Structure 1
């Protein structure tokens, strides 16, 4: 297998775009080569098989969705109120929605993971780690609510992102923002007086 890391990353990024546009059935080495604008046969030199490509794409999506350092620091800045939590949740939804092809590809990979044990293992580890990191950051920042509340917000907002990316007219952007506020206000305790 080839080891040019920049080329491998470009091929995996191309695979993400193919997954989002064509679905799992459309993810072929040929389609990845075309998307990456490289000679035919390049992807097959970097990945042992389609399972390898699926698995690498699953890992790469999470690398690209990871917030930058400024976003990470922002979690710990500002008041520890429900209103601040609403802002943070809205920021996460906007960041994730901005990488729409990544999220749509992730949905395809989740479906494919029901048939591919290696992919299921990768996604299970990445999603579990993501959830537990979210819980840990929330609690460390002193924001209101417990671990279960953070997990419930995670579950609800993930489906909100799915709606925004697949059926955006179900909950238009303004209404989605109101729902986030209502969700946080119902799940988290009131701010102390």
Structure 2
């Protein structure tokens, strides 16, 4: 297999676009070559089999969804209250929604993972690591709420993003902003009330 890392990354990015547009059945070496604008046969020189395209795409999506260093540092600024949690979650929803093809490709990969054990293992590891990294970051930052709060918000916002990207007419942009705030208020009720006991 060839070892040009830039070309390999470009081919995996092309695979993500193909997945988002054509679904798992449309993910072929030929489709990836066409999407990447490279000669026919290039993808097959980099990937031994189609399964490898699926697993590489799954890992690459999570790489691209990670916030940059500036964004990550900014999460540690500002007050440590529920309003700040709401602000940060709105930023996350916006950032993930901006990578629309990546998230749609991830949905395709999740469905495909029910039929491909190797892909299921890759996605399980990446998603579990992502959830636990979010929990750890939240707890270390001093924001209100515990590990369960973070997991509940993760689950709620993931489906909100699915609705936003697949059926954008269901909720308006204002609905999305309000629903994020409502989710925080309901998951962190004790810290949003003036008489609440404070962060858990």
Q: Same fold per TM (> 0.5)?
A: yes
Shift of 1:74: 1.4
Q: Does 1:59 align with 2:59?
A: yes
Alignment correspondent of 1:139:
139
Q: Does 1:117 align with 2:113?
A: no
Aligned 8 A contact 1:97 1:165 in 2: yes
Aligned 8 A contact 1:19 1:27 in 2: yes
Alignment correspondent of 1:169:
169
Map 1:1-193 → 2, pairs under 5 A: 1-188=1-188, 189-191=190-192
Shift of 1:172: 1.0
Instruction: Supply the distance in 2 between the matched residues of 1:92 and 1:114 (Cα, whole angstroms).
Output: 27
Matched position secondary structure for 1:55: helix
Instruction: Supply the distance in 2 between the matched residues of 1:162 and 1:182 (Cα, whole angstroms).
Output: 18
Matched position secondary structure for 1:190: helix
Shift of 1:40: 0.3
Matched position secondary structure for 2:93: helix
Matched position secondary structure for 2:40: coil
Instruction: Supply the distance in 2 between the matched residues of 1:170 and 1:7 (Cα, whole angstroms).
Output: 39
Instruction: Supply the distance in 2 between the matched residues of 1:146 and 1:2 (Cα, whole angstroms).
Output: 46
Shift of 1:190: 2.0
Aligned 8 A contact 1:13 1:57 in 2: yes
Paired residue total:
193
Shift of 1:70: 1.1
Instruction: Supply the distance in 1 between the matched residues of 2:129 and 2:87 (Cα, whole angstroms).
Output: 23
Aligned 8 A contact 1:75 1:137 in 2: no
Structure 1 portions without partners, runs of 5+: none
For normalisation by structure 2, the TM-score amounts to 0.95
Matched position secondary structure for 2:70: helix
Matched position secondary structure for 1:2: coil
